[in-house]
């Protein structure tokens, strides 16, 4: 027997027509109605097999939708910790790539970053290589990146506020620059 699940589909921006059509197709196949959480997220309740959930996940990912299946309805109070990466998750940029861009080195640094993301380099080695390219950098470049390029991801402030209101501790993970993590921490309280 299939157990009840809550499926959530989410996009960083408002759902576009193709994403909404995908969500409606999944709801139709599930025999469920969509609940709109906000302009970028919908949820539905279904009892489906693991195979069906996997097929729906593939449909959602083809439309660049995040897809989460939870075995039961949960509230934030059911959790104790919200942990997340900073770069390209809580914020919209990769800090080291933006620092490199200000020095005219973004293609070289991005190439190393992408190799690490593909598993061709371990994190330590990739960080060493990227930082070596930035040797001699004036510290004012960090402040410029923070002021001119660092933006919170859509919904980040709401997420952190909701987590704090529910009593969750928050953990921000970053591979390097405390200059940015400290400022983001202050900004989000």
Owner of token pair 């004036």: 138
Among 78, 85, 122, 138, the one annotated catalytic: 85
Tell me which long-range contacts 44-47 makes (C-beta under 8 A, separation of at least 24). Answer: 44/6, 44/7, 45/4, 45/5, 45/6, 45/7, 45/73, 46/4, 46/5, 46/7, 47/1, 47/2, 47/3, 47/4, 47/5
Name 163's Cβ contacts closer than 8 Å, sequence gap at least 6: 76, 82, 170
Residues in the chain: 189
DSSP string for residues in 4-23: EEEEEEE-SSS--HHHHHHH
* Chain-centroid distance, C-alpha 151: 13
**Of the listed 87, 97, 122, 138, which one is catalytic?**
87
Annotation marks residue 122 as catalytic: no
Task: Phi first, then psi: give them for residue 75, nearest 5 degrees.
Answer: -110, 165
Catalytic center residues: 85, 87
């Amino acid at each position: 027997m299939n157990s009840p699940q809550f499926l959530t589909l989410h996009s960083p921006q408002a759902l576009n027509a193709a994403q909404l059509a995908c969500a409606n197709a999944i709801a139709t196949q599930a025999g469920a109605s969509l609940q709109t959480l906000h302009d970028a997220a919908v949820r539905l309740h279904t009892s489906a097999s693991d195979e069906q959930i996997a097929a729906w996940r593939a449909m959602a990912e083809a439309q660049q939708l995040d897809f989460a299946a939870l075995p039961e309805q949960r509230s934030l109070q059911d959790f104790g910790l919200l942990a997340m990466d900073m770069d390209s998750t809580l914020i919209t940029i990769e800090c080291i790539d933006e620092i490199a861009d200000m020095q005219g080195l973004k293609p070289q640094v991005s190439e190393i970053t992408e190799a690490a993301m593909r598993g061709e380099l371990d994190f330590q080695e990739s960080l060493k290589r990227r930082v070596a390219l930035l040797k001699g950098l004036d510290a004012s470049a960090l402040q410029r990146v923070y002021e001119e390029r660092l933006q919170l991801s859509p919904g980040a402030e709401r997420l952190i506020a909701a987590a704090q209101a529910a009593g969750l501790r928050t953990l921000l993970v970053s591979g390097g620059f405390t200059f940015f993590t400290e400022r983001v921490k202050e900004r989000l309280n």
